[in-house]
A and B are shown apart, each in its own frame.
Chain A
Amino acid sequence: MEIVVSIPFIPLVIAALISFVDDKRAIPRISMFFSGLIAIISLIGTVYEFMFHKVIVGFYNTLVFDHLASILVPYVAIIGLVIRKYASNYMWDEKGYKRFFIILNFIFSSIYFMIMANNLIIMFIAWQILSLSLYFLISFRVESKDAVRFGSWAITVHRIGDFFFLLGMILTYKVYHTLNLQTLYQIWQTNIEHSTLVNAIALLFVASAMAKSAIIPFYFWLPYTSEAPTPVSALMHAGIVNAGGILLNKIAYLYLSSSIALNTAFFFGILTAIAASVVMLSKPDIKRSLGYSTVGQMGYMIMETGIGAFSVAIYHLIVHGIFKASLFLESGNVIHLARKDPNIPKNLSYKLFSEETEENRKTIGEIVAIFTIIPIVLFTLIEFFINKVQFQFQAGIIFLAFGWLTSAQLFLSFFKVSKNTSLKTILGLIVSFVFIVLTYEFMGTTFEEYLYGPKYVEFYKAANLSISYLLILLALLIGVIVFGWAIIYYQSYKDASGTRYEKLKWTFYKIFSRGFFLPDILIRYFKLL
C-alpha cells in the first residue's frame, strides 16, 4: 500500500516525460494516462483508509496518507483529470502547449505534497512551489501586459503568505523542537497551553492561509487573475485558493490552544464573505464578478474554521471547487459556442436557469399554505437535524446565517427576479436554504466523525464566541439591512434624483464596484516588479 504515498511524485514524472516529447499529440496522452493512474491509486488508498483506518507513511516519514488525504487526494485527482482533458483541446492552438502541461503538473505535484506532507518543512516547500507555479500559469499569456501585471500581484501576495508560513514554522520548531506533524498532533492534543508564543504561531499560520485564500486584506489578487487561460481559472478557483483551508485543517489541533487565532479567522472570514459578496453584485464585468464570488466563498471557508467547524470547511472547499470548476469550464464552452452562434447559445444551463417561463398565478390558498407550512417544516427539520453541539457553542447560529446567505446568493445569481415570479423566488430561496443547510450539516457531521473522531467537539469549545460578540454582529447586520431598505423605500416613493441620498448611493456603488480602490492604488503606485 506504500505506493499511495508516491502520488506526489507522479506529476513530476509526467512533467519530465513531457519535456522530452516532441510530438504535440503525445503530451495530453501521457498526461491523461498518468493522471488516470493517480486517480485509481488514490481511490484504492481511500478505500483502504475507510476499511482499515490505518495511516500509510512513507519516504522517511515525510509523507503520509491519512484520513484528510483520503478525502482530498481523490478529489484533486479527479478534478485534475477533468481539467487536463479539457485543457488538451482548449489549449491546442495556444503558444506554449508543452510549457502549460509541464507547469500544470508542477501545480498538481505541489498540491499533493501539501496534502500528504507529514512535516511542516515539506509543506512549506510545496506551499512555495504552488505560489510559483500559479504565477507562471497566470502569466502564461506572456505577451499580455495585464496577465504579467496580475501575475506579479499574485506572486507578491503569496510571497507575503510564504513569509508568514516561514515565521510560523520557525516558531513551531523553537517551541516544540520538531516539525513532524504526527508528533505535533500528539503534543497539541495532550498539551493544551494558551501561551503568547502558541498564539503567535497559530496567528501566523492563519495569516498565511488568508494570503493564499485571498481573504481581506489579501483579496485583491484573485479577481484579477481572469487573464489566465480558462483551465487555469478552473484549477485556481477549484483547488489552489483552497490551500488556506487545507493548511488550517492540517494543523487543526494547534487551534485547541488558541481561541484568539480562531476568532481572528472568524472575523476576517465573515468580513471577506460579506464585502466580497457586495462587490460581486456591483461588478459589471462577469469574470471579475466570478472572482469576487470565489473570494466570498473563501471567506466562508475561513469563517467555518474560525467557528471550529474544520470539517465543514473541507466539505465546503470540495463542493465549491466542483461548482466553480464546472462554471469556468462551462463558460469556456459557451464562449466557444457564442463565436459560432449570433444569439445567446441555448445550452442546458440557459434552459434551466435563464429562460423566461410563463407567469404562474397562485391562489390565496396556495399562498397561505406556502407561508405557513413551509416555515414549520423548515424549522422542524433544522431542529431535528442540526448538531446540538454546534448550538451549544453558538456555531449553529452562524451556520444558519451562512446557509441563508449562500442560498440567497446562489439563487439570485441564477434566476431572474421579477414581480411576476416573486413567489417562485421566495419558494426557491427557502428550498435552496433547506438543501444547503441539510447537506452541509449531514456531510459536515460525517466528515467531523471521520477526520477528528470525538475530538471535534473540542474545536467548537476552543472557538467558543461570546454571545455579546455575536449580538454586536447581529445588531450591525440588522442596521445594514434597515439602512438598505430605507434607501430603497426613499427612492421608490420620493424623487431622490439630485439629493444627497442619491449621491451617497453612488458613492457606495463606486466604492464597491472599484473593489475598495485597492486595485487602482496598486496599478498606480505598485511598480516594484
Chain B
Amino acid sequence: MYYLALTMMGILPYYLFGKNFKTYSMLFLGLPLMGLFIYHFDDPTATNAIYKALELMAFITSALTFLLSYRTSNLIKLSYYFVFVNVVALFIFKDKWMFELYFGSLVLSAFTLYLVGYYMDKTFGSANIDAITGIVLKAPKFALFLRLSLMNLGLYPPFANALIITSNILKSSLHLDGYLIVVWLFFANFFMAFRIINSSLFGKPNPLVNYKDIGQGYVFVFSLVFSVLTVVGFYSLMEVLL
C-alpha cells in the first residue's frame, strides 16, 4: 500500500493544481500504474499471465505518456510525465530495496523539475518551455539547477537515477523483455529531458520576459536535493564496485 500512497501523492496535486489538462487521458495512465504497484509487490499470488499483462499495460502507459509529453510545453506537466514514463521500470527491479531507492530518487528528481516549473510560472509568468528561452544567459544559477535536474532525469551519471538502474541491471538477471525496458527507459528519458534543455535552457532570451535568478532559499533546497541524489547514486555504485 506504500506504493499506492506514493503514487497518489504524485498524482493528486496533478489533478488538483494542473491547468488546462486532459484529465481522462491521465486517468487512463494513472489507474494501471496504481494497479501495477499493488499487484507486483502486495499480491504474492499474482500469476505469470497477470504479471505479463501488467507489464504490457505499463509499457503502453509509458509509451503513451512519452507521446503525450511531445504535445505539451508545460514544465509542470512534464515533471509528472517523467514519473509515468518510468512506471515500466518496476519490472526490471527484482530487489524491493533497489526499487524503493529508484522510485524515491525519481520522485525527488521529478520534484526538482516541478519546483523549477513552479518558479518559472511564479517569476517569469509562465512554465512554458517554448516561451521561456535562453535561461542559461539570463539566470545562470537557475539554469544550472535545471540542467542538473534534467541530467538526472535523462539518466546521466553521477546522479542516482542512472546509477541505480545500472547497478540493478548488473546485479539482477534480466530476460529479453527486461532488456527491452532498459532500452526504452534509456532513450525515452533522454529524449524528454534533452527536448527541454534545447527549448528552454538554450535559445535566444525572450525580450518579453523579465528574467530573475533564484535566491538563496532555492539555492539551498536545490543543493540539498542534488547532494542527496549524488550520495544515493554513489551508494548504489559502491554496491557494484566493492
Contact = CB atoms under 8 A, between A and B. Distances in A.
Interface of A: 60, 62, 95-96, 99, 119, 121-122, 124-125, 128-129, 132, 136, 139, 142-143, 145, 148, 152, 155, 159, 163, 166, 169-170, 173-174, 179, 528-529
B242 interface: yes
Most buried by A among B134, B140, B186, B241: B241
A129 B157 contact: yes
Contacts of B204: 143
A60 B242 contact: yes
Contacts of B242: 60
Contacts of A125: 157-158, 163, 237
Given A128-B157, A132-B151, A142-B137, A60 B241 contact: yes
Secondary structure at the A interface, as helix, strand, loop or mixed, is: helix
Contacts of A143: 134, 137, 203-204
Given A121-B237, A132-B156, A139-B198, 16 more contacts: A95-B137, A121-B241, A122-B241, A125-B157, A125-B158, A128-B162, A132-B151, A136-B147, A139-B202, A142-B203, A145-B203, A148-B202, A163-B186, A170-B169, A179-B240, A529-B195
Contacts, number: 72
A170 B195 contact: no
B111 interface: no
A511 to B, nearest CB: 30
Contacts of A179: 170, 240
B202 A159 contact: no
B198 A152 contact: yes
A121 B163 CA distance: 10
A119 B187 CA distance: 25
Interface string B100-141: 000000000000000000000000000000000010110010
A62 B242 CA distance: 10
B136 A142 contact: yes
A62 B183 CA distance: 27
B114 to A, nearest CB: 22
Contacts of B237: 121, 125
Residue of A119, A142, A163, A528 with most chain B CB atoms under a 10 A cut-off: A142
B194 A155 contact: yes
17 contacts: A99-B136, A121-B237, A125-B158, A128-B156, A132-B151, A142-B137, A142-B202, A143-B137, A148-B202, A159-B190, A166-B169, A166-B186, A170-B169, A170-B170, A173-B170, A174-B173, A179-B170
Nearest to A167: B179
Interface in B163-189: 163, 166, 169-170, 173, 182-183, 186-187
Nearest to A174: B173
B189 to A, nearest CB: 10
A124 B169 CA distance: 14
Given A166-B186, A173-B170, A96 B137 contact: yes
Contacts of B183: 163
Nearest to A173: B170
Nearest to B135: A142
Contacts of A152: 194, 198
A88 to B, nearest CB: 20
Contacts of A163: 183, 186-187
B78 interface: no
Interface of B: 134, 136-137, 140, 147, 151, 156-158, 162-163, 166, 169-170, 173, 182-183, 186-187, 190-191, 194-195, 198, 201-204, 237, 240-242
Contacts of B182: 166
A145 B203 CA distance: 7
Contacts of B162: 128
Contacts of B134: 142-143
Nearest to A62: B241
Contacts of A96: 136-137, 140
Contacts of A122: 241
A254 to B, nearest CB: 18
A9 B191 CA distance: 30
Question: Most chain-B CB neighbours within 10 Å: which of A148, A152, A529?
Answer: A529
A142 B166 CA distance: 31
A62 B241 CA distance: 8
Contact of B203 (A128, A148, A155): A148
A121 B240 contact: yes
Nearest to B194: A529
A148 B198 contact: yes
Contacts of B147: 136
A491 to B, nearest CB: 46
Nearest to B157: A125
B81 to A, nearest CB: 15
Contacts of A174: 173
B145 to A, nearest CB: 13
Contacts of A121: 166, 170, 237, 240-241
Nearest to B190: A159
Given A99-B140, A170-B169, A529 B203 contact: no
A60 B234 CA distance: 14
Contact of A142 (B157, B170, B201): B201
A124 B194 contact: no
B198 A124 contact: no
Contacts of A60: 241-242
A342 B170 CA distance: 62
Contacts of B157: 125, 128-129
Contacts of A169: 170
A129 B140 CA distance: 20
A143 B135 CA distance: 11
A68 to B, nearest CB: 21
Given A129-B156, A132-B151, A166 B240 contact: no
A152 B195 CA distance: 9
A529 B97 CA distance: 34
Nearest to B242: A60
A178 to B, nearest CB: 10
Contacts of A173: 170
Nearest to B143: A99
A121 B168 CA distance: 13
A509 B12 CA distance: 60
B136 A529 contact: no
Nearest to A125: B157
Contacts of A128: 156-157, 162
Contacts of A132: 151, 156
Contacts of A528: 191, 195
Identify the 5 closest CB pairs spanning chains A and B, nearest first.
A142-B202, A125-B157, A148-B202, A143-B204, A173-B170
Nearest to A121: B240
A157 to B, nearest CB: 12
Nearest to B174: A170
Nearest to A160: B187
A152 to B, nearest CB: 6
B140 A166 contact: no
Q: Among A124, A159, A169, find the residue whose CB has the most chain B CB atoms closer than 10 A.
A: A159
